[in-house]
Amino acid sequence: MHSNKPLSSEDQVKAIADTAPIMLLMLDKDNNAVYVNASWLYFTGRTIEQETGEQWLKGIHQADLDFCLQTFKKAAFQQSSFKISFRLKNGDHNYHWMVCNGASRLNATGEFDGFVCWCLDIDDVMVANHQENERQALVSSKNEEVLSNELFSANEELLTTNEELASTNKALQLTQVKLANLNDELEEKVRLRTTALEESEHEQQTLNEELVATNEELAATNEELATTNEELLSSQRRLEKLLEELKESEHRTRSLIESAPLPIAVYKGREMKIVLANQSIIDIWGKGNDVFSHTYHSLLPELGNQAIYDQLDEVYTTGKAFHARNQRVDIVVDNVLQPFYFNYSFVPIFDTKGEIYGIMNTGAEVTDIVRAKQLVEQSEKNLHNIILQAPVAMCILMGPKHTVMVANDMMIEFWGKERAAILDKPLFEVLPEAREQGLEQIMADVFHRGETFEAVEMPVSLYRGSQNGVIYQNVVYEPYRDNTGKVIGIIAITTDATEQVLARQKLEQSLDEVQKLQRQKDDFIGIASHELKTPLTSLSALIQVLTVKLRDTTDPFVNGALAKANIQIRKMTNLINGFLNISRLESGKIHIEKQHFRLNQLLHEMAEEIQITTHSHSIHIHDHEPVDVFADKDKVGSVLTNLLSNAVKYSPKGKSISVNYVKKDDYLEVSIHDEGMGITEQDLDKLFDRYYRVESSYTKNISGFGIGLYLSAEIIKQHGGRIWVQSKSGEGSTFYFTLPLN
């Protein structure tokens, strides 16, 4: 390609050389080719690289090389031109004869610098010469002149060419000088460039080193980045998983919070915007379900003067949680400000940067518990008041040491100490004299086993002033329990029974004396009856004899006197028998001797016997089917006599007495009814007691000892039967007794 750029001198030389129809070779001082032109290369069929340096010498025929080198050497030594012929190998590996004209080359300072050689392919000429030589040998030297002329003209041409070459050489030399100058400039520039390059190379190297280091760092960083990247990726995956878990956990937390039975809410920011609230807390607020459009303050304005806003603000400012217990909080519910009690907490919530986000409010409504506690406290107060005002000595002793918590004046008096010396002190420390009498053990049992202890007239030895005297107390030690039922102390109730005990002891003493007297009386009656029995028996026998002897007397007085004497003897016999039975009963000598007999018959016998001495009353026996019993006939007979004679004794004259008997399942019930004075209710119970008699204006003139019913009751009891009375004052009486039939 043709360029418009102006050619340098060297380039110009080369351009000329290249276009020259002759082969050009430039050698340095050591025969190295520094340049060959295009004709040269065309001939050798090689590249410029294959020809430069010593390489071009390889093209010279082996037979011509030494000669060539010597010629160059000689010419170089002489710094002169030369002319030489040699064979040079062409592109087809054939050797052609060359004629070579060498002219010395000078550098810019005019010093010898090698040769410029023009070579001409003279092979055709040489071949022609050879052929001519052969032809001349054949044809003789006829044409020698012609040939010589031709050669001459050829030589002429060569010379002309040589001259042209010489002038070209000069131009070349000039060009060479310019080239040398240019070369110098170039070298300078190259040097400068080289220096700059070296510097820059140094810098480059440093830079390079730095770069290498950086590179290494980068590589390491890269690796780290790769690792980090992987970590990031797995972190991201973890993060995603975490986020999912978070979402799920948030969902769970939310649903947990929402379904929690405890009140929970979350307020955001200093303005306390309600962002989360479960139904439990919504219900407590009592402001309806639309709470999320509110701040805490706007929803619960009634808390403004209850310190709660300040607590929230404090938590938000300091980041420290706040806890309250049994705190009263008044909330407007159903348009009424009502007191509630809560255990609540305000706990700060922080965001991921550690900055406060809001406050979580958890709580537990303890209104019922607090109210219950207040009730307990109130009832405790009431109990204390009851104790203080009780008409009996009372106190509460707390704990296992029985510390006196509360005691009324009667109790303090009972202890015989100052109130201040006793209150809040363990009982047995302030009452050492009460120790070792079994009280410690009793109280410990009440406290540890929770069992009530009751005792009547328990003797306790206590100081009374300076004297240590025994007092008697009726005590109740009741376990004192807390609201969980745990025994925490003892409620002691004491009544002083000392006076009662002493009075009773006196009474017992007098009763003993009465009994002694009674015994003496019984003994006397027993002895007297025994003693009376013998003369009465003699008297009775004598009267009987007398009655027989005077049977025919007509003296009405004697007859009457004897009959009355008989009646009185019979009465006296009954009386003495009664007394004797009493003393037998007392000494356990009364015996039941059972036999079979017909009761109807006994009833008639006894009634007839009574009617012998009594004509003022009529006795009626209601007869039914005969009843046989197995009993002590005499003793049952004496019971009947007793009841019938009482019916006579305690009824006005002319009244009738009816006797009845009823056979029931397995017993026989006998009744004696009179129309007499009857018996008052208060006397009914005591009627069967020994020596008991009703005292009234009516009875005071009726003789008796109050032993008949007592003996009758004992006899019936010994038979396994029952005796009782139905009566009303003024309306007559019915006495009943039963006898078992089998």
Three-state DSSP at 456 gives strand
Least distance CB 592 / ligand ADP (angstroms)? 20
Which residues in this chain contact ligand ADP in the complex, by CB under 6 A? 642, 646-647, 650, 674, 676-677, 679, 687, 693-694, 699, 704-710, 733
Least distance CB 620 / ligand ADP (angstroms)? 16
Least distance CB 686 / ligand ADP (angstroms)? 9
CB-based contacts of 439, cutoff 8 Å, min separation 6? 428, 460
Are the C-beta atoms of residues 453 and 445 closer than 8 Å to each other?
A: yes
Q: What CA–CA distance (Å, rounded) separates 401 from 447?
A: 10
DSSP 8-state class, residue 434 = G
Closest to ligand ADP by CB, 240 vs 689, is 689
Closest to ligand ADP by CB, 687 vs 739, is 687
Least distance CB 709 / ligand ADP (angstroms)? 4
Least distance CB 449 / ligand ADP (angstroms)? 53
For tokens 């290249």, what's the residue? 18
Beta bridge mates, 345: 323, 362
For tokens 């049994």, what's the residue? 326
Closest to ligand ADP by CB, 427 vs 709, is 709
Least distance CB 413 / ligand ADP (angstroms)? 50
Closest to ligand ADP by CB, 216 vs 731, is 731
Residue among 709, 707, 740 at smallest CA distance from 722: 740
Least distance CB 740 / ligand ADP (angstroms)? 24
Closest to ligand ADP by CB, 87 vs 693, is 693
Both tokens of residue 661? 């008997």
Alpha-carbon distances of 415 from 446, 468, 478, 496, rounded to whole Å: 20, 12, 19, 11
Closest to ligand ADP by CB, 327 vs 646, is 646
Question: What single-letter amino acid sits at 362?
Answer: T
DSSP 8-state class, residue 433 = G
The residue with its CB nearest to ligand ADP is 704
Closest to ligand ADP by CB, 400 vs 706, is 706
Least distance CB 642 / ligand ADP (angstroms)? 6
Are the C-beta atoms of residues 692 and 710 closer than 8 Å to each other?
A: yes
Least distance CB 393 / ligand ADP (angstroms)? 46
Q: How crowded is residue 395: how many other Cβ atoms within 10 Å of its Cβ?
A: 27
Are the C-beta atoms of residues 360 and 312 closer than 8 Å to each other?
A: no
Burial 716-740 (b: 16+ CB within 10 A, else e): beebebebebebeeeebbebbbbbe
- What angle do helix axes 599-613 and 556-586 make, rounded to 10 degrees? 130
Least distance CB 535 / ligand ADP (angstroms)? 23
Are the C-beta atoms of residues 88 and 44 closer than 8 Å to each other?
A: yes
Q: What CA–CA distance (Å, rounded) separates 742 from 737?
A: 16
Closest to ligand ADP by CB, 107 vs 660, is 660
Closest to ligand ADP by CB, 474 vs 699, is 699
For tokens 């506690």, what's the residue? 373
Least distance CB 546 / ligand ADP (angstroms)? 30
Closest to ligand ADP by CB, 131 vs 696, is 696
CB-based contacts of 89, cutoff 8 Å, min separation 6? 44, 59, 60, 61, 95
Half-sphere exposure of 441 (CA within 13 A, CB side): 3
Closest to ligand ADP by CB, 704 vs 740, is 704
Q: How crowded is residue 13: how many other Cβ atoms within 10 Å of its Cβ?
A: 25
Q: What CA–CA distance (Å, rounded) separates 724 from 711?
A: 13
Least distance CB 513 / ligand ADP (angstroms)? 24
Closest to ligand ADP by CB, 327 vs 529, is 529
Q: What CA–CA distance (Å, rounded) separates 544 from 537?
A: 10
For tokens 């009566």, what's the residue? 727
Closest to ligand ADP by CB, 102 vs 708, is 708
Strand order in the sheet with 95-106: 33-36, 23-27, 112-121, 95-106, 82-89
Strand order in the sheet with 273-277: 273-277, 264-268, 356-365, 336-350, 322-333
Are the C-beta atoms of residues 629 and 720 closer than 8 Å to each other?
A: no
Q: How crowded is residue 203: how many other Cβ atoms within 10 Å of its Cβ?
A: 11
Least distance CB 571 / ligand ADP (angstroms)? 12
Least distance CB 604 / ligand ADP (angstroms)? 20
* Strands 264-268, 356-365: pairing kind: antiparallel
Closest to ligand ADP by CB, 46 vs 617, is 617
Least distance CB 552 / ligand ADP (angstroms)? 39
Does an H or E element contain 26, and which? strand 23-27
